[in-house]
RNA sequence: AGGCCUGUAGCUCUAACGGCUAGAGCACCUGACUCCAAAUCAGGGGGUUGGGGGUUCAAAUCCCUCCAGGCCUGCCA
């Protein structure tokens, strides 16, 4: 591990097989970053317990699908191009030092910071959480522990997570200040341009597992086709020959991603009424399935190699744990918590 | 630990005094219409009314008990 390399930390909630939103929103970025940085990528299983599960999703009251979700997600990370030789891949809870760091950080995290946290408030509103738990309020502190345990410099996250990283920086700064030691680097958001991936039902909505408007790597080509067929299109284009408005059309949004070379033609044909939505969808399905095929083939292969997957997670956890242990002992040192014997 | 409140379809709720096969909206699925999707129309699935016991000819409704959750008070830290 070279000293000069900056450290990246980032996590994903264990929601199972990746969908296109995850892939373009995060994974592609992660893959690029693993080349230049020391990267810690982990599955945040603890974070998935901060809320109740919605429907059959994982939450604190329903952890049934947790292990399978973790497995499917790691398979997709690797099938998609994360290389365990280039980055450290593991499960958050496999490094218990993070929990201890979380505890210590919680002692110095002002309650007001957490209560004021806009993401927390949105969470309560958007997910209609009537009875928030202690764990949910403390989410940013846990995230801070995730970053700081590995002394992360940069955190590649979306705009919605920006305030959390800012909180992590505040907590790190407060710790350094209180104990007059520069234990933690101050983590920064690494903003990157990511294409917005709409849901299959609405260009203005995000693709998400809970909304059910997604296409995942685990889906078959047929399933993908079915989901493309059900995509929302221009409501004023009733007949095949009507002039369409591609900018409000989900199918077109995906042509921009999977059919880049033909996108101007697609737009023109749609606008002038020489292209029907059915043809347009069929073409998209063909392009998308073609693009996803190598990853899907790889994921099928990996699914047969459970040992390999668990070995990757296990050696990832070992590597991460070493780093976290070193950080923690430093932390305990400055807080005078180190055992004499 | 005590007091009070809540529990009915995936979600929000209705079902007077105990009384017909526990209903509706949204969501979901199917069909019709559409190049498709959406919208619209038609149809459909879905419930041991939180569990158990009791009273009664008859319980979602009344009683007991347990479970889960919430609010308040107390106690401890």
Identify whether residues A296 and A319 lie together within a single domain: no
Q: Is A339 inside a domain boundary? A: no
Place A6 in a pLDDT band, splitting at 50, 70 and 90.
very high
The count of domains in chain A is: 2
Q: Is A147 inside a domain boundary? A: yes
Does the pLDDT at position A60 exceed 90? Answer: no
**Distance, Å, A193 CA → B16 C1':** 62
Identify whether residues A43 and A135 lie together within a single domain: yes
Q: Which SS3 state, helix, strand or coil, does residue A155 take?
A: strand
Q: How far apart are CA A296 and CA A313, in angstroms?
A: 20
Q: Which residue has the tokens 């078959």?
A: A220
pLDDT in tens, A214-257: 999 999 999 999 999 999 999 999 999 999 999 999 999 999 99
Identify whether residues A257 and A310 lie together within a single domain: no
Residues in chain A: 341
Place A2 in a pLDDT band, splitting at 50, 70 and 90.
very low
Q: Is A76 inside a domain boundary? A: yes
CA–C1' nearest nucleotide, residue A270 = B35
Identify whether residues A256 and A120 lie together within a single domain: no
Identify whether residues A225 and A326 lie together within a single domain: no
Quote the crossing angle between the two packed helices A250-258 and A277-303, to the nearest 10°: 60
Q: Is A124 inside a domain boundary? A: yes
Q: Is A210 inside a domain boundary? A: no
Identify whether residues A266 and A329 lie together within a single domain: no
Does the pLDDT at position A200 exceed 90? Answer: yes
Task: Report residue A144: phi and psi, to 5°.
Answer: -60, -45
Identify whether residues A27 and A118 lie together within a single domain: yes
Identify whether residues A23 and A121 lie together within a single domain: yes
The secondary structure of residue A176, as a DSSP letter, is H
pLDDT in tens, A126-165: 777 777 888 888 999 999 999 999 999 999 987 778 888 9
Most distant pair of Cα atoms in chain A: their distance: 82
Q: Is A209 inside a domain boundary? A: no
**Distance, Å, A215 CA → B43 C1':** 30
Cβ A41 vs Cβ A87: under 8 Å: yes
CA–C1' nearest nucleotide, residue A273 = B35
- The distance from CA A287 to its chain's CA centroid, rounded to whole angstroms, is 25
Identify whether residues A287 and A319 lie together within a single domain: no
CA–C1' nearest nucleotide, residue A200 = B37
**Distance, Å, A91 CA → B41 C1':** 51
Q: Which SS3 state, helix, strand or coil, does residue A304 take?
A: coil
**Distance, Å, A221 CA → B37 C1':** 19
pLDDT in tens, A84-132: 999 999 999 999 999 999 999 999 999 889 988 888 887 777 777 777 8
The secondary structure of residue A117, as a DSSP letter, is -
Q: Is A160 inside a domain boundary? A: yes
* Domain that residue A154 falls in: 7-195+306-334
CA–C1' nearest nucleotide, residue A131 = B70
Nucleotides of chain B in contact with protein CB (under 7 A) are 10, 34-39, 69-71
Identify whether residues A167 and A316 lie together within a single domain: yes
Residue % of chain A over a pLDDT of 70:
99
**Distance, Å, A211 CA → B36 C1':** 22
Cα end-to-end distance, chain A, whole Å: 31
Using DSSP bridges, classify how beta strands A202-206 and A198-199 pair: parallel, antiparallel or unpaired.
antiparallel
Long-range contacts: A81-86, Cβ < 8 Å, 24+? Answer: A81/A27, A81/A31, A81/A295, A82/A27, A82/A30, A82/A31, A82/A34, A82/A41, A83/A34, A84/A312, A84/A315, A84/A316, A86/A34, A86/A35, A86/A39
Listed by range, residues with Cβ under 7 angstroms from strand B are A 55, 131, 229-235, 237-240, 242, 244, 276-279, 281
CA–C1' nearest nucleotide, residue A232 = B37
pLDDT in tens, A276-323: 999 999 999 999 999 999 999 999 999 999 999 999 999 999 999 999
Q: Which SS3 state, helix, strand or coil, does residue A125 take?
A: helix
Q: Which SS3 state, helix, strand or coil, does residue A37 take?
A: coil
What CATH number does the domain containing A69 carry?
A: 3.40.50.620
What CATH number does the domain containing A289 carry?
A: 1.10.240.10
- The distance from CA A42 to its chain's CA centroid, rounded to whole angstroms, is 10
Identify whether residues A279 and A323 lie together within a single domain: no
Residue % of chain A over a pLDDT of 90:
77
Identify whether residues A224 and A328 lie together within a single domain: no
Q: Which two tokens mark A204?
A: 């203005």
Cβ A223 vs Cβ A37: under 8 Å: no
**Distance, Å, A184 CA → B63 C1':** 63
Cβ A157 vs Cβ A44: under 8 Å: no
Q: Is A131 inside a domain boundary? A: yes
> What number is the ipTM of this complex?
0.80
Report the pLDDT value the prediction gives residue A55, as an integer from 0 to 100.
66
**Distance, Å, A52 CA → B68 C1':** 14
Q: Return the closest-CA partner of residue A257 out of A210, A198, A316, A182.
A: A198
- A275 DSSP β-pair partners: none
């Amino acid at each position: 591990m070279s000293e000069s390399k900056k450290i990246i930390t980032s996590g994903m909630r264990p929601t199972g097989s990746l969908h296109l939103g995850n892939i373009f929103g995060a994974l592609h970025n992660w893959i690029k970053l693993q080349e230049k940085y020391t990267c810690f990528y982990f599955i945040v299983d603890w974070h998935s317990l901060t809320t109740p599960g919605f429907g059959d999703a994982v939450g604190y009251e329903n952890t049934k699908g947790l292990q399978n979700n973790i497995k499917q997600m790691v398979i997709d990370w690797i099938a998609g191009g994360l290389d365990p030789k280039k980055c450290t891949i593991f499960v958050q809870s496999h490094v218990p030092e993070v929990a201890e760091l979380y505890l210590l950080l919680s002692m110095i995290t002002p309650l007001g910071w957490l209560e004021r946290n806009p993401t927390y408030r949105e969470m309560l509103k958007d997910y209609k959480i009537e009875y928030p738990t202690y764990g949910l309020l403390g989410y940013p502190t846990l995230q801070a522990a995730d970053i700081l345990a590995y002394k992360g410099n940069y955190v590649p996250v979306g705009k919605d997570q920006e305030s959390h990283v800012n909180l992590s920086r505040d907590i790190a700064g407060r710790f350094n200040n209180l104990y007059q030691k520069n234990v933690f680097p101050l983590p920064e958001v690494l903003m990157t341009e990511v294409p917005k991936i709409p849901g299959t039902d609405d260009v203005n909505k995000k693709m998400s597992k809970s909304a059910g408007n997604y296409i995942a790597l685990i889906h078959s080509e047929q399933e993908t086709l079915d989901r493309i067929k059900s995509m929302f299109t221009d409501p004023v284009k009733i007949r095949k020959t009507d002039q369409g408005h591609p900018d409000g059309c989900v199918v077109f949004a995906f042509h921009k991603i999977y059919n880049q070379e033909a996108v101007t033609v697609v737009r023109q044909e749609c606008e002038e009424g020489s292209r029907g939505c059915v043809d347009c969808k069929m073409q998209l399905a063909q392009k998308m399935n073609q693009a996803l095929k190598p990853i899907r083939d790889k994921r099928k292969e990996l699914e047969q190699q459970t040992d390999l997957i668990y070995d990757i997670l296990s050696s990832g956890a070992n590597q991460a744990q070493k780093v976290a242990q070193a950080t923690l002992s430093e932390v305990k040192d400055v807080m005078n918590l180190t055992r004499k014997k």
